[in-house]
Chains A and B, each alone.
Chain A
Amino acid sequence: MSKGKPEKNRRINVPDEAWEEYIIDADFHLNLFDPKEYLEYIEDPRLKKKIEVGGIPKGVTGGWVFPYAHHIADSLNTQGTALVAEEIDGLKKQYAIDAVIVGPGMINLPTARYPIVKNAIVKAYNDYIVDKVIDVKNGIYGLAIVPQWDPAACVEEIERMKDEKGIVGVQGWYSPQTLFGAIEYEEMHRELVKEKLPLVLHGSGFTSRFDLLGNSMKSVVEALTLSWTYNAMANVLNLIFTGTFDRHEDLKVVIQEAGTNWVPFASLRADECYYALPEDVMLSHRMFEDGNDYLKHMPSEYFFKNMYYTTQPIALPKNPDHVKSMFEMCRASETFLYSSDWPHNTFDPPNWLFNNRGIDKETRARICHGNSKEVFGI
Protein backbone atom coordinates (compact mmCIF):
# COMPACT_ATOMS: atom_id res chain seq x y z
CA MET A 1 0.00 0.00 0.00
CA SER A 2 1.58 3.27 -1.07
CA LYS A 3 1.38 6.21 1.26
CA GLY A 4 2.48 8.61 -1.45
CA LYS A 5 5.37 10.98 -1.20
CA PRO A 6 5.73 13.10 1.90
CA GLU A 7 4.62 16.65 1.52
CA LYS A 8 7.49 18.07 3.51
CA ASN A 9 10.42 17.25 5.74
CA ARG A 10 12.62 15.44 3.24
CA ARG A 11 15.59 16.34 5.40
CA ILE A 12 15.42 13.03 7.26
CA ASN A 13 16.15 11.19 4.04
CA VAL A 14 13.72 8.33 4.49
CA PRO A 15 14.20 6.17 1.39
CA ASP A 16 11.41 5.70 -1.12
CA GLU A 17 10.81 2.05 -0.19
CA ALA A 18 9.79 3.18 3.28
CA TRP A 19 6.69 4.74 1.79
CA GLU A 20 5.68 1.36 0.44
CA GLU A 21 6.14 -0.44 3.75
CA TYR A 22 3.57 -0.35 6.55
CA ILE A 23 5.51 0.97 9.53
CA ILE A 24 4.42 0.95 13.16
CA ASP A 25 6.44 3.00 15.63
CA ALA A 26 6.40 1.14 18.95
CA ASP A 27 7.92 3.90 21.06
CA PHE A 28 6.53 7.35 20.32
CA HIS A 29 6.40 9.83 23.16
CA LEU A 30 3.72 12.19 24.25
CA ASN A 31 5.52 14.67 26.41
CA LEU A 32 2.61 15.80 28.46
CA PHE A 33 4.40 17.76 31.12
CA ASP A 34 2.32 20.89 31.52
CA PRO A 35 -0.33 20.21 34.20
CA LYS A 36 -2.85 22.51 32.60
CA GLU A 37 -3.19 20.01 29.74
CA TYR A 38 -4.74 17.38 31.97
CA LEU A 39 -6.05 19.18 35.05
CA GLU A 40 -9.59 18.77 33.81
CA TYR A 41 -9.29 15.03 34.43
CA ILE A 42 -8.45 15.42 38.11
CA GLU A 43 -11.47 15.76 40.33
CA ASP A 44 -10.19 15.84 43.89
CA PRO A 45 -9.52 19.53 44.75
CA ARG A 46 -6.57 18.68 47.00
CA LEU A 47 -4.83 16.75 44.25
CA LYS A 48 -5.80 19.31 41.66
CA LYS A 49 -4.23 22.09 43.70
CA LYS A 50 -1.07 20.14 44.35
CA ILE A 51 -0.62 19.29 40.68
CA GLU A 52 -1.58 22.78 39.48
CA VAL A 53 1.08 24.34 41.68
CA GLY A 54 3.78 21.68 41.67
CA GLY A 55 3.26 19.84 38.41
CA ILE A 56 4.42 16.26 38.18
CA PRO A 57 6.32 15.28 41.35
CA LYS A 58 10.00 15.40 40.56
CA GLY A 59 11.85 12.15 40.20
CA VAL A 60 14.91 11.47 42.30
CA THR A 61 17.25 11.74 39.36
CA GLY A 62 20.96 11.88 38.93
CA GLY A 63 20.72 15.38 37.55
CA TRP A 64 21.30 14.28 34.01
CA VAL A 65 20.49 16.74 31.25
CA PHE A 66 21.14 16.67 27.54
CA PRO A 67 22.77 20.06 27.17
CA TYR A 68 23.40 19.88 23.46
CA ALA A 69 19.94 20.92 22.36
CA HIS A 70 19.24 24.55 21.59
CA HIS A 71 17.61 25.15 24.94
CA ILE A 72 18.04 23.22 28.15
CA ALA A 73 14.28 23.26 28.68
CA ASP A 74 13.87 21.40 25.40
CA SER A 75 16.87 19.20 25.86
CA LEU A 76 14.86 16.01 25.56
CA ASN A 77 12.34 17.10 22.99
CA THR A 78 14.67 17.98 20.20
CA GLN A 79 12.28 16.92 17.43
CA GLY A 80 9.28 18.93 18.58
CA THR A 81 6.07 18.28 20.44
CA ALA A 82 2.80 16.67 19.45
CA LEU A 83 0.09 16.52 22.10
CA VAL A 84 -3.13 15.66 20.30
CA ALA A 85 -4.19 13.24 17.58
CA GLU A 86 -4.11 15.76 14.73
CA GLU A 87 -0.57 16.83 15.56
CA ILE A 88 0.62 13.24 15.81
CA ASP A 89 -1.05 12.32 12.55
CA GLY A 90 0.63 15.17 10.72
CA LEU A 91 3.97 14.36 12.23
CA LYS A 92 4.03 10.62 11.53
CA LYS A 93 3.30 11.20 7.86
CA GLN A 94 6.56 13.11 7.57
CA TYR A 95 8.56 10.05 8.56
CA ALA A 96 6.80 7.36 6.51
CA ILE A 97 5.27 6.04 9.71
CA ASP A 98 1.74 4.66 9.44
CA ALA A 99 0.88 3.93 13.04
CA VAL A 100 2.27 4.89 16.43
CA ILE A 101 2.09 3.35 19.86
CA VAL A 102 2.00 6.43 22.06
CA GLY A 103 3.65 6.24 25.44
CA PRO A 104 4.14 8.86 28.10
CA GLY A 105 7.33 10.81 28.49
CA MET A 106 7.09 10.92 32.27
CA ILE A 107 10.04 8.66 32.76
CA ASN A 108 10.91 9.87 36.24
CA LEU A 109 7.49 9.17 37.70
CA PRO A 110 8.50 5.85 39.33
CA THR A 111 11.09 7.48 41.54
CA ALA A 112 9.10 10.59 42.39
CA ARG A 113 7.42 11.09 45.75
CA TYR A 114 3.72 11.56 46.58
CA PRO A 115 2.26 8.24 45.36
CA ILE A 116 -1.34 9.48 45.74
CA VAL A 117 -0.57 12.45 43.54
CA LYS A 118 1.18 10.18 41.05
CA ASN A 119 -1.82 7.84 40.95
CA ALA A 120 -4.00 10.83 40.07
CA ILE A 121 -1.60 11.86 37.31
CA VAL A 122 -1.63 8.34 35.89
CA LYS A 123 -5.41 8.32 35.71
CA ALA A 124 -5.50 11.81 34.23
CA TYR A 125 -2.90 10.87 31.63
CA ASN A 126 -4.82 7.75 30.66
CA ASP A 127 -8.07 9.67 30.38
CA TYR A 128 -6.36 12.37 28.37
CA ILE A 129 -5.00 9.97 25.75
CA VAL A 130 -8.36 8.25 25.39
CA ASP A 131 -9.99 11.64 24.85
CA LYS A 132 -7.44 13.50 22.81
CA VAL A 133 -4.79 11.23 21.42
CA ILE A 134 -6.01 7.80 20.42
CA ASP A 135 -7.38 7.71 16.92
CA VAL A 136 -7.51 4.14 15.69
CA LYS A 137 -8.71 5.11 12.21
CA ASN A 138 -5.53 7.09 11.75
CA GLY A 139 -3.24 4.54 13.33
CA ILE A 140 -2.76 6.22 16.70
CA TYR A 141 -2.78 3.76 19.59
CA GLY A 142 -1.91 4.25 23.21
CA LEU A 143 -0.40 2.60 26.26
CA ALA A 144 -2.17 3.13 29.56
CA ILE A 145 0.24 3.81 32.41
CA VAL A 146 0.14 1.43 35.36
CA PRO A 147 1.24 2.97 38.68
CA GLN A 148 3.95 0.40 39.41
CA TRP A 149 4.66 1.85 42.87
CA ASP A 150 1.20 0.61 43.86
CA PRO A 151 0.56 -2.94 42.49
CA ALA A 152 -3.10 -3.01 43.59
CA ALA A 153 -3.71 0.26 41.75
CA CYS A 154 -2.09 -1.27 38.65
CA VAL A 155 -4.83 -3.91 38.58
CA GLU A 156 -7.54 -1.28 39.08
CA GLU A 157 -6.14 0.81 36.27
CA ILE A 158 -6.03 -2.14 33.88
CA GLU A 159 -9.66 -2.90 34.80
CA ARG A 160 -10.59 0.71 34.10
CA MET A 161 -8.77 1.00 30.79
CA LYS A 162 -8.98 -2.48 29.27
CA ASP A 163 -12.03 -1.86 27.11
CA GLU A 164 -10.99 1.54 25.83
CA LYS A 165 -10.61 1.40 22.08
CA GLY A 166 -7.02 1.83 20.99
CA ILE A 167 -5.41 0.97 24.33
CA VAL A 168 -3.05 -1.80 23.20
CA GLY A 169 -0.87 -2.34 26.25
CA VAL A 170 0.16 -0.96 29.60
CA GLN A 171 3.20 1.14 30.28
CA GLY A 172 5.63 0.66 33.12
CA TRP A 173 9.30 1.50 33.56
CA TYR A 174 12.30 -0.71 34.21
CA SER A 175 13.61 1.68 36.78
CA PRO A 176 16.31 0.39 39.10
CA GLN A 177 14.15 -0.11 42.17
CA THR A 178 11.43 -2.14 40.45
CA LEU A 179 11.70 -5.75 39.37
CA PHE A 180 8.56 -6.93 37.67
CA GLY A 181 9.02 -10.58 38.61
CA ALA A 182 8.17 -9.61 42.20
CA ILE A 183 5.23 -11.52 43.62
CA GLU A 184 3.46 -8.21 44.31
CA TYR A 185 2.77 -7.97 40.58
CA GLU A 186 1.10 -11.37 40.44
CA GLU A 187 -2.43 -10.01 40.04
CA MET A 188 -1.27 -7.54 37.45
CA HIS A 189 0.34 -10.27 35.36
CA ARG A 190 -2.81 -12.38 35.65
CA GLU A 191 -4.96 -9.46 34.56
CA LEU A 192 -2.71 -8.66 31.62
CA VAL A 193 -2.86 -12.22 30.34
CA LYS A 194 -6.62 -12.29 30.81
CA GLU A 195 -7.04 -9.07 28.86
CA LYS A 196 -4.39 -10.03 26.28
CA LEU A 197 -2.45 -6.84 26.93
CA PRO A 198 1.36 -6.69 26.88
CA LEU A 199 3.41 -5.14 29.65
CA VAL A 200 5.51 -2.47 27.97
CA LEU A 201 8.53 -1.33 29.93
CA HIS A 202 10.48 1.79 29.13
CA GLY A 203 13.70 3.07 30.64
CA SER A 204 13.33 5.31 33.60
CA GLY A 205 15.51 8.02 35.09
CA PHE A 206 19.15 7.51 35.82
CA THR A 207 18.25 7.65 39.43
CA SER A 208 20.76 8.65 42.01
CA ARG A 209 18.96 7.04 44.87
CA PHE A 210 18.60 3.56 43.51
CA ASP A 211 21.01 3.09 40.66
CA LEU A 212 24.34 3.41 42.42
CA LEU A 213 26.37 2.40 39.41
CA GLY A 214 24.50 4.76 37.10
CA ASN A 215 24.90 7.53 39.59
CA SER A 216 28.63 7.01 39.72
CA MET A 217 28.97 7.66 36.02
CA LYS A 218 30.49 10.99 35.15
CA SER A 219 28.75 11.83 31.92
CA VAL A 220 25.32 11.36 30.46
CA VAL A 221 26.70 9.43 27.52
CA GLU A 222 28.04 6.74 29.85
CA ALA A 223 24.71 6.44 31.57
CA LEU A 224 22.75 6.41 28.33
CA THR A 225 25.01 3.72 26.92
CA LEU A 226 24.60 1.30 29.78
CA SER A 227 22.28 2.29 32.59
CA TRP A 228 18.99 1.59 30.88
CA THR A 229 20.31 -1.56 29.25
CA TYR A 230 21.41 -3.20 32.45
CA ASN A 231 18.24 -2.19 34.23
CA ALA A 232 16.26 -3.74 31.38
CA MET A 233 18.36 -6.88 31.58
CA ALA A 234 17.81 -7.06 35.32
CA ASN A 235 14.05 -6.98 34.79
CA VAL A 236 14.06 -9.57 32.01
CA LEU A 237 16.16 -11.95 34.09
CA ASN A 238 14.04 -11.35 37.16
CA LEU A 239 10.85 -12.14 35.24
CA ILE A 240 12.39 -15.35 33.93
CA PHE A 241 14.11 -16.68 37.03
CA THR A 242 11.16 -16.02 39.31
CA GLY A 243 9.03 -18.30 37.15
CA THR A 244 6.72 -15.49 36.01
CA PHE A 245 6.45 -16.94 32.52
CA ASP A 246 5.97 -20.48 33.80
CA ARG A 247 2.91 -19.35 35.70
CA HIS A 248 1.79 -16.87 33.05
CA GLU A 249 2.85 -18.54 29.82
CA ASP A 250 1.02 -16.04 27.62
CA LEU A 251 2.38 -12.91 29.29
CA LYS A 252 4.12 -10.72 26.72
CA VAL A 253 6.65 -8.09 27.73
CA VAL A 254 8.01 -5.37 25.47
CA ILE A 255 11.31 -3.74 26.40
CA GLN A 256 11.64 -0.23 25.00
CA GLU A 257 14.80 1.74 24.38
CA ALA A 258 17.30 -0.64 25.88
CA GLY A 259 18.84 -1.43 22.50
CA THR A 260 18.94 -4.92 21.07
CA ASN A 261 22.41 -6.38 20.79
CA TRP A 262 22.55 -7.44 24.43
CA VAL A 263 19.89 -10.09 23.83
CA PRO A 264 22.30 -12.83 22.63
CA PHE A 265 24.72 -12.05 25.44
CA ALA A 266 22.12 -12.01 28.22
CA SER A 267 20.21 -15.05 26.99
CA LEU A 268 23.33 -17.18 26.58
CA ARG A 269 24.72 -16.07 29.91
CA ALA A 270 21.39 -16.79 31.58
CA ASP A 271 21.53 -20.35 30.25
CA GLU A 272 25.13 -20.72 31.30
CA CYS A 273 24.47 -19.56 34.86
CA TYR A 274 21.34 -21.67 35.06
CA TYR A 275 23.42 -24.72 34.10
CA ALA A 276 25.61 -23.99 37.07
CA LEU A 277 22.94 -23.05 39.61
CA PRO A 278 19.61 -24.57 38.53
CA GLU A 279 18.48 -25.19 42.09
CA ASP A 280 18.47 -21.47 42.80
CA VAL A 281 15.19 -20.84 41.00
CA MET A 282 13.12 -23.04 43.31
CA LEU A 283 13.74 -20.54 46.09
CA SER A 284 11.97 -17.67 44.35
CA HIS A 285 8.56 -16.91 45.78
CA ARG A 286 6.50 -18.08 42.84
CA MET A 287 8.47 -21.24 42.14
CA PHE A 288 8.49 -22.15 45.82
CA GLU A 289 4.72 -21.73 46.08
CA ASP A 290 4.12 -23.82 42.98
CA GLY A 291 6.56 -26.51 44.10
CA ASN A 292 8.53 -26.19 40.88
CA ASP A 293 12.18 -27.06 41.22
CA TYR A 294 13.19 -26.02 37.74
CA LEU A 295 12.03 -23.74 34.98
CA LYS A 296 9.87 -25.31 32.31
CA HIS A 297 12.29 -24.14 29.61
CA MET A 298 15.85 -22.98 29.38
CA PRO A 299 16.10 -19.28 30.30
CA SER A 300 17.05 -18.22 26.77
CA GLU A 301 13.80 -19.57 25.41
CA TYR A 302 11.79 -16.99 27.34
CA PHE A 303 13.88 -14.22 25.78
CA PHE A 304 12.32 -15.13 22.46
CA LYS A 305 8.96 -16.58 23.46
CA ASN A 306 7.70 -13.93 25.88
CA MET A 307 9.77 -10.87 25.10
CA TYR A 308 9.89 -8.21 22.40
CA TYR A 309 12.46 -5.47 22.00
CA THR A 310 12.01 -2.07 20.39
CA THR A 311 14.87 -1.19 18.10
CA GLN A 312 15.81 2.35 19.07
CA PRO A 313 18.62 3.20 19.60
CA ILE A 314 19.61 0.77 16.89
CA ALA A 315 23.36 0.10 16.86
CA LEU A 316 24.16 -1.83 13.71
CA PRO A 317 27.50 -3.38 12.87
CA LYS A 318 28.95 -1.82 9.73
CA ASN A 319 29.34 -5.14 7.94
CA PRO A 320 25.94 -6.33 6.61
CA ASP A 321 26.98 -9.95 7.18
CA HIS A 322 27.37 -9.13 10.85
CA VAL A 323 23.98 -7.42 10.84
CA LYS A 324 22.46 -10.59 9.44
CA SER A 325 24.17 -12.73 12.08
CA MET A 326 23.24 -10.37 14.87
CA PHE A 327 19.60 -10.35 13.77
CA GLU A 328 19.57 -14.13 13.58
CA MET A 329 21.02 -14.40 17.08
CA CYS A 330 18.42 -11.96 18.38
CA ARG A 331 15.69 -13.71 16.37
CA ALA A 332 14.85 -10.21 15.19
CA SER A 333 12.17 -11.43 12.84
CA GLU A 334 10.20 -12.65 15.87
CA THR A 335 11.17 -10.13 18.54
CA PHE A 336 12.11 -6.70 17.16
CA LEU A 337 9.64 -3.84 16.90
CA TYR A 338 10.65 -0.74 14.99
CA SER A 339 10.63 2.36 17.19
CA SER A 340 11.64 5.98 16.76
CA ASP A 341 11.65 7.48 20.27
CA TRP A 342 10.26 10.64 18.72
CA PRO A 343 10.76 13.45 19.77
CA HIS A 344 13.89 12.79 21.78
CA ASN A 345 17.44 13.50 20.76
CA THR A 346 18.14 9.81 20.21
CA PHE A 347 15.41 9.72 17.57
CA ASP A 348 15.69 6.89 14.96
CA PRO A 349 13.78 7.44 11.72
CA PRO A 350 13.13 4.18 9.87
CA ASN A 351 15.77 4.69 7.18
CA TRP A 352 18.22 2.15 8.68
CA LEU A 353 15.81 -0.67 7.82
CA PHE A 354 16.24 -0.06 4.13
CA ASN A 355 19.16 -0.55 1.77
CA ASN A 356 21.01 -2.85 4.15
CA ARG A 357 21.68 -6.23 2.59
CA GLY A 358 21.93 -7.70 6.08
CA ILE A 359 18.17 -7.20 6.51
CA ASP A 360 16.00 -9.18 4.12
CA LYS A 361 12.54 -8.07 3.09
CA GLU A 362 10.71 -10.57 5.21
CA THR A 363 12.63 -9.65 8.36
CA ARG A 364 12.11 -5.98 7.62
CA ALA A 365 8.38 -6.45 7.29
CA ARG A 366 8.27 -8.29 10.62
CA ILE A 367 10.19 -5.50 12.31
CA CYS A 368 8.24 -2.72 10.62
CA HIS A 369 4.80 -4.07 11.44
CA GLY A 370 4.44 -7.85 11.78
CA ASN A 371 5.67 -8.20 15.32
CA SER A 372 3.91 -5.06 16.52
CA LYS A 373 0.62 -6.25 15.09
CA GLU A 374 1.09 -9.53 16.86
CA VAL A 375 2.00 -8.22 20.30
CA PHE A 376 -0.34 -5.22 20.34
CA GLY A 377 -3.22 -7.01 18.67
CA ILE A 378 -3.53 -4.33 16.03
Chain B
Amino acid sequence: MVIQRKYSEYNMREKIIGRIEDFPEGRGTGVKLGGLKIAIFNIDGKLYAIHDSCPHKHAPLHESGSNRYNSEKCGGTFLGEIDLELKMIKCPWHGLRFDLETGESPVLKRKIPVYNVVVREDGEVAVVV
Protein backbone atom coordinates (compact mmCIF):
# COMPACT_ATOMS: atom_id res chain seq x y z
CA MET B 1 0.00 0.00 0.00
CA VAL B 2 1.33 3.43 -0.88
CA ILE B 3 0.52 6.05 1.70
CA GLN B 4 -0.50 9.11 -0.26
CA ARG B 5 -0.58 12.20 1.86
CA LYS B 6 -0.65 15.48 0.06
CA TYR B 7 -2.88 17.42 2.37
CA SER B 8 -3.35 17.75 6.09
CA GLU B 9 -5.56 15.08 7.57
CA TYR B 10 -7.78 17.91 8.74
CA ASN B 11 -8.35 19.12 5.18
CA MET B 12 -12.11 19.64 5.03
CA ARG B 13 -12.08 18.99 1.30
CA GLU B 14 -11.05 15.40 1.82
CA LYS B 15 -14.00 13.10 1.37
CA ILE B 16 -13.78 9.49 2.42
CA ILE B 17 -14.64 7.09 -0.38
CA GLY B 18 -13.70 3.73 1.16
CA ARG B 19 -10.79 1.65 2.25
CA ILE B 20 -7.72 0.71 0.26
CA GLU B 21 -8.94 -2.86 -0.17
CA ASP B 22 -12.03 -1.50 -1.96
CA PHE B 23 -9.81 -0.51 -4.87
CA PRO B 24 -8.16 -3.62 -6.31
CA GLU B 25 -4.87 -3.27 -8.10
CA GLY B 26 -4.79 -3.05 -11.88
CA ARG B 27 -8.37 -1.95 -12.42
CA GLY B 28 -10.83 0.89 -12.03
CA THR B 29 -13.60 1.36 -9.51
CA GLY B 30 -16.44 3.82 -9.77
CA VAL B 31 -17.49 5.92 -6.78
CA LYS B 32 -20.10 8.58 -6.29
CA LEU B 33 -19.66 11.63 -4.11
CA GLY B 34 -22.85 13.62 -4.05
CA GLY B 35 -23.35 14.50 -7.70
CA LEU B 36 -19.75 13.72 -8.62
CA LYS B 37 -18.78 10.53 -10.43
CA ILE B 38 -15.19 9.58 -9.90
CA ALA B 39 -13.18 6.66 -11.28
CA ILE B 40 -10.45 5.37 -9.00
CA PHE B 41 -7.61 3.40 -10.57
CA ASN B 42 -5.11 1.43 -8.54
CA ILE B 43 -1.87 1.16 -10.48
CA ASP B 44 0.98 -0.60 -8.71
CA GLY B 45 -0.57 0.30 -5.37
CA LYS B 46 -0.96 3.99 -6.17
CA LEU B 47 -4.46 5.42 -6.52
CA TYR B 48 -5.55 7.87 -9.20
CA ALA B 49 -8.89 9.64 -9.35
CA ILE B 50 -10.36 10.94 -12.57
CA HIS B 51 -13.76 12.20 -13.65
CA ASP B 52 -15.81 9.11 -14.39
CA SER B 53 -17.47 10.21 -17.62
CA CYS B 54 -15.90 10.38 -21.04
CA PRO B 55 -16.71 13.74 -22.65
CA HIS B 56 -17.42 11.96 -25.92
CA LYS B 57 -20.50 9.92 -24.99
CA HIS B 58 -20.36 9.78 -21.22
CA ALA B 59 -19.01 6.27 -20.91
CA PRO B 60 -18.06 5.26 -17.36
CA LEU B 61 -14.29 5.48 -17.51
CA HIS B 62 -13.84 3.25 -14.47
CA GLU B 63 -14.73 0.34 -16.75
CA SER B 64 -11.51 0.90 -18.66
CA GLY B 65 -9.57 -2.31 -18.40
CA SER B 66 -12.51 -4.45 -17.38
CA ASN B 67 -13.83 -7.37 -19.35
CA ARG B 68 -16.69 -6.79 -21.72
CA TYR B 69 -19.79 -8.81 -22.21
CA ASN B 70 -18.80 -12.23 -23.55
CA SER B 71 -15.38 -10.90 -24.51
CA GLU B 72 -13.83 -14.34 -24.06
CA LYS B 73 -15.89 -15.50 -27.03
CA CYS B 74 -14.31 -12.96 -29.36
CA GLY B 75 -10.74 -13.84 -28.57
CA GLY B 76 -10.70 -11.89 -25.34
CA THR B 77 -10.24 -8.59 -27.14
CA PHE B 78 -12.01 -5.50 -25.91
CA LEU B 79 -11.74 -1.80 -26.30
CA GLY B 80 -10.49 0.30 -23.46
CA GLU B 81 -7.44 -0.62 -21.49
CA ILE B 82 -5.08 0.67 -18.85
CA ASP B 83 -1.56 1.50 -19.89
CA LEU B 84 0.29 0.83 -16.66
CA GLU B 85 3.53 2.32 -17.85
CA LEU B 86 2.17 5.60 -19.23
CA LYS B 87 -0.58 5.85 -16.60
CA MET B 88 -3.13 6.26 -19.38
CA ILE B 89 -6.58 4.78 -19.66
CA LYS B 90 -8.68 4.20 -22.72
CA CYS B 91 -12.40 4.80 -22.72
CA PRO B 92 -14.17 1.43 -22.76
CA TRP B 93 -16.68 2.51 -25.39
CA HIS B 94 -14.66 4.16 -28.17
CA GLY B 95 -11.09 4.25 -27.00
CA LEU B 96 -10.31 7.90 -26.27
CA ARG B 97 -7.20 8.08 -24.12
CA PHE B 98 -6.77 10.05 -20.90
CA ASP B 99 -3.75 10.69 -18.75
CA LEU B 100 -4.58 9.65 -15.19
CA GLU B 101 -2.24 12.23 -13.70
CA THR B 102 -3.37 15.26 -15.69
CA GLY B 103 -6.72 14.31 -17.21
CA GLU B 104 -5.41 15.31 -20.64
CA SER B 105 -6.66 13.66 -23.77
CA PRO B 106 -4.15 13.84 -26.63
CA VAL B 107 -7.03 13.67 -29.09
CA LEU B 108 -9.30 16.29 -27.55
CA LYS B 109 -6.44 18.60 -26.60
CA ARG B 110 -8.20 19.34 -23.33
CA LYS B 111 -8.48 17.95 -19.84
CA ILE B 112 -11.11 16.29 -17.75
CA PRO B 113 -10.95 16.76 -13.97
CA VAL B 114 -8.55 14.70 -11.88
CA TYR B 115 -8.46 14.69 -8.08
CA ASN B 116 -5.84 14.17 -5.47
CA VAL B 117 -6.21 10.91 -3.57
CA VAL B 118 -5.28 10.55 0.06
CA VAL B 119 -4.60 7.15 1.57
CA ARG B 120 -4.54 7.50 5.32
CA GLU B 121 -2.36 5.39 7.53
CA ASP B 122 -5.38 3.47 8.80
CA GLY B 123 -6.21 2.44 5.23
CA GLU B 124 -9.04 4.89 4.64
CA VAL B 125 -9.09 6.47 1.22
CA ALA B 126 -10.25 10.00 0.53
CA VAL B 127 -10.35 12.27 -2.50
CA VAL B 128 -9.86 16.00 -2.34
CA VAL B 129 -12.74 17.75 -4.06
A residues with a Cβ closer than 8 A to B are 274-279, 293-294, 296-298
Q: Are B56 and A297 in contact (CB under 8 A)?
A: no
Q: B86 contacts the other chain (Cβ, under 8 Å)? A: no
Residues of the A chain whose Cβ atoms lie less than 8 Å from the Cβ of B12: none
Question: How many residues of chain B are within 8 Å of chain A by beta carbon?
Answer: 9
Query: Which of the residues B56, B94, B95, B106 comes within 8 Å of A294, measured between beta carbons?
Result: B106
Q: B107 contacts the other chain (Cβ, under 8 Å)? A: yes
Q: Are A275 and B106 in contact (CB under 8 A)?
A: no
Alpha-carbon distance between A200 and B42 when the two chains are bound, in angstroms? 53
Residues of the A chain whose Cβ atoms lie less than 8 Å from the Cβ of B106: 278, 293-294
B106 to chain A, nearest CB (A): 5
> B55 — nearest CB in chain A belongs to which residue?
A275
> A276 — nearest CB in chain B belongs to which residue?
B94
Query: Which of the residues A278, A293, A296, A297 comes within 8 Å of B96, measured between beta carbons?
Result: A278
Q: Are A278 and B109 in contact (CB under 8 A)?
A: no
B residues with a Cβ closer than 8 A to A are 56, 94-97, 106-109
CB-based closest 7 A-B pairs:
A278-B107, A276-B94, A275-B56, A294-B107, A294-B106, A275-B94, A275-B96
Residues of the A chain whose Cβ atoms lie less than 8 Å from the Cβ of B95: 276-279
Residues of the B chain whose Cβ atoms lie less than 8 Å from the Cβ of A276: 94-95
Q: Are A274 and B109 in contact (CB under 8 A)?
A: no
Residues of the A chain whose Cβ atoms lie less than 8 Å from the Cβ of B109: 296-298
B55 to chain A, nearest CB (A): 9
> B54 — nearest CB in chain A belongs to which residue?
A275
Alpha-carbon distance between A5 and B96 when the two chains are bound, in angstroms? 59
Residues of the B chain whose Cβ atoms lie less than 8 Å from the Cβ of A279: 95
> A278 — nearest CB in chain B belongs to which residue?
B107
Residues of the B chain whose Cβ atoms lie less than 8 Å from the Cβ of A278: 95-97, 106-107
B82 to chain A, nearest CB (A): 17
> A293 — nearest CB in chain B belongs to which residue?
B106
